């Protein structure tokens, strides 16, 4: 037993010496220790652990930084311009100057149901942001992540660091998801899937109900969630401009909304190219569906 212990101790010393000399070899050092650092970077080992690594930690720490730099390739944003949530992600990336790789999904060709896209997002919806190999499949999660991860100090107003101000922004985003966007889903269900030949009375009522809430928000502050532009303004605007094409937002009835919408045109980047054109695309889809439904009824 004693001899066996000596044998393993000697073997350990030899292997450790060989490992360290390999790391220090100028010929292949980079490839070998970068592979090791890659494993660390993609594991659950905290990167901070490298600061307390064994004697070769200086080399390993450097390699990990290189790997993290290599991981900083542009995020990929899958989108379709007609989608209000996708437009919110697009506008947010433009506003903060985030250089994303844009990949348009062709819904007409059913690309969102293709095998490759279902691997990215099994829910087959857009937008999807893939960053560092991780997909985010909800627009609100995407835009808040964009600002948190890539925004500069001048973008703090979009998603405030003050918890109470941030909570108000979150509340307005929940309003959009739970109230405003549900109206669009009601139109879609009735027209594109239900076969309706005109806008249903209930859909119109839901629209005005949602408009009334928003008018109330804007009666208390200049923007949807306070006195500065926020992610809530961007996201709500992409949904609202689409609804406006279906159920007109009349200035005499909703003066605050109309004034706010006009300001958004001047404050959001590439508004015409992204928001207007995208909303028009979705509107034309509704009109085409109505025409098809009328043909079926005749």
CA atoms of 160 and 154, how far apart (whole Å): 11
Q: How many residues does the chain have?
A: 298
The neighbour count for residue 151, using CB atoms within 10 Å, is 20
Catalytic residue among 21, 25, 63, 83: 83
CB contact at 8 A, 217 and 255: no
**Dihedral angle over CA of 93, 159, 263, 245, nearest 10:** 70
Structural element, H or E, at residue 95: helix 84-96
CB contact at 8 A, 110 and 62: no
83 belongs to the catalytic site: yes
- The secondary structure of residue 111, as a DSSP letter, is G
**Cβ burial, residue 38 (10 Å; 0-12/13-18/19+):** middle
Look at strands 134-136 and 76-79 and give their pairing: unpaired
Structural element, H or E, at residue 78: strand 76-79
CA atoms of 174 and 196, how far apart (whole Å): 29
Helix runs in 177-276, H state only? 181-187, 201-220, 231-246, 255-267
| Torsional sign, CA 175, 89, 229, 273 | negative
CB contact at 8 A, 29 and 59: yes
CA atoms of 217 and 222, how far apart (whole Å): 9
CB contact at 8 A, 159 and 147: yes
What residues are annotated to the active site? Answer: 83
């Amino acid at each position: 037993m004693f001899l066996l212990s000596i044998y393993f101790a000697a073997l350990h010393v030899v292997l450790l010496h060989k490992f360290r000399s390999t790391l220090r070899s100028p010929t292949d050092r980079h490839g070998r220790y970068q592979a090791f650092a890659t494993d660390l970077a993609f594991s659950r080992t905290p990167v901070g652990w490298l600061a307390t690594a064994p004697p070769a930690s200086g080399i390993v720490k450097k390699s990990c930084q290189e790997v993290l730099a290599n991981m900083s390739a542009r995020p990929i944003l899958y989108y379709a311009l007609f989608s209000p949530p996708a437009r919110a992600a697009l506008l947010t990336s433009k506003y903060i100057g985030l250089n994303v790789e844009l990949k348009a999904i062709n819904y007409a060709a059913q690309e969102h149901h293709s095998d490759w896209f279902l691997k990215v997002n099994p829910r087959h919806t857009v937008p999807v942001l893939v960053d560092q190999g991780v997909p985010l499949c909800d627009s609100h999660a995407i835009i808040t992540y964009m600002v948190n991860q890539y925004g500069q100090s001048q973008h703090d107003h979009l998603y405030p660091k003050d918890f109470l101000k941030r909570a108000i922004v979150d509340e307005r985003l929940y309003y959009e998801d739970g109230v405003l966007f549900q109206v669009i889903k009601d139109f879609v269900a009735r027209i594109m899937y239900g076969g309706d030949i005109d806008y249903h009375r209930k859909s119109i009522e839901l629209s005005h109900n949602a408009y009334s809430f928003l008018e109330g928000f804007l009666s208390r502050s200049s923007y949807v969630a306070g006195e500065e532009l926020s992610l809530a303004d961007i996201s709500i605007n992409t949904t609202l401009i689409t609804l406006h094409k279906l159920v007109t937002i009349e200035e005499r009835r909703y003066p605050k909304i109309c004034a706010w919408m006009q300001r958004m045109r001047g404050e959001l980047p590439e508004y015409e190219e992204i928001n207007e054109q995208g909303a028009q695309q979705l509107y034309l889809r509704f009109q085409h569906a109505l025409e098809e439904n009328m043909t079926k009824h005749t």
